Amino acid sequence: NAGVTQTPKFRILKIGQSMTLQCAQDMNHNYMYWYRQDPGMGLKLIYYSVGAGITDKGEVPNGYNVSRSTTEDFPLRLELAAPSQTSVYFCASMGDRATYEQYFGPGTRLTVT
Amino acid sequence: KQEVTQIPAALSVPEGENLVLNCSFTDSAIYNLQWFRQDPGKGLTSLLLIQSSQREQTSGRLNASLDKSSGRSTLYIAASQPGDSATYLCAVSERLNKLVFGSGTILRVKS
């Protein structure tokens, strides 16, 4: 299993541009999450999904959109990028609610200038 | 709103010392608590997960405790090594396992 994969690893955007951060998992997990981590801080939840076709907002959803058309993929869309969205973005998934263990991807480092 | 605080923010110790990292949270209605390790520029590695009904978990030189009623957890690292140098993050889970993270403790173990 590849686990949770994220692309791209790095990206520089200009203010006002848009992009999609890709996240995929091959563990057949129903639960998937997007977090952002600002320098020197912990992670904050942006959006989450409990299964294909179901998404909901987390703590910091403004400026982002998500979709979940398949169990495997959970892309995060940035519209009209702003400098405040400069951050490292992590995707995570969870399959077994008995253990509650989340598996994290390697992250995407995004800079908006 | 759940808030998670980690103390100290940074810690520097000589190799071989035993050390304790602290985590506190404001709402005791959690499902579990996890400790993660994060190396510079890397993702998160789960170290220990304590279910809300448990009091502690151990893995090798690591021991984590949980006191839900007082809103506290500690991560104990025995006989620290330079390879333990990293940022340690504490996170508590809410409904649907949404995680709320602390800001982390940056640990440096000097050889």
**Is the model more confident about B35 or about A97?**
B35
Kindly determine whether residue B43 and residue A43, on different chains, have CB atoms separated by under 8 Å.
Answer: no
Nearest to B96 among A48, A101, A109 (CB): A48
In angstroms, the CA A28 to CA A108 distance is 22
In sequence order, the 6+-apart residues with CB closer than 8 A to the CB of A27 are A1, A3, A4, A93, A95, A103
Strands (E), chain B: 4-7, 10-14, 19-25, 32-38, 44-51, 56-59, 62-67, 72-77, 86-93, 99-101, 105-110
Q: pLDDT by residue (tens digit) across A47-71? A: 999 999 999 999 999 999 999 999 9
pLDDT of A97 over the 70 cut: no
What average pLDDT is seen over chain A? 93
Q: pLDDT by residue (tens digit) across A11-26? A: 999 999 999 999 999 9
Instruction: Compute the nearest-CA separation of B78 from chain A (Å).
Output: 24
Q: pLDDT by residue (tens digit) across B82-99? A: 999 999 999 999 888 889
Q: Which pLDDT value is given to residue B42?
A: 85
Paired strand residues for A55: A49
Of B43, B42, B32, give the one whose Cα is nearest residue B90: B32
Determine the average pLDDT of the residues in A83-98.
89
Tokens coding A12: 């520089």
pLDDT of A1 over the 80 cut: no
Q: Which pLDDT value is given to residue A2?
A: 76
Which residues of B fall within a CB distance of 8 Å from A44? 101
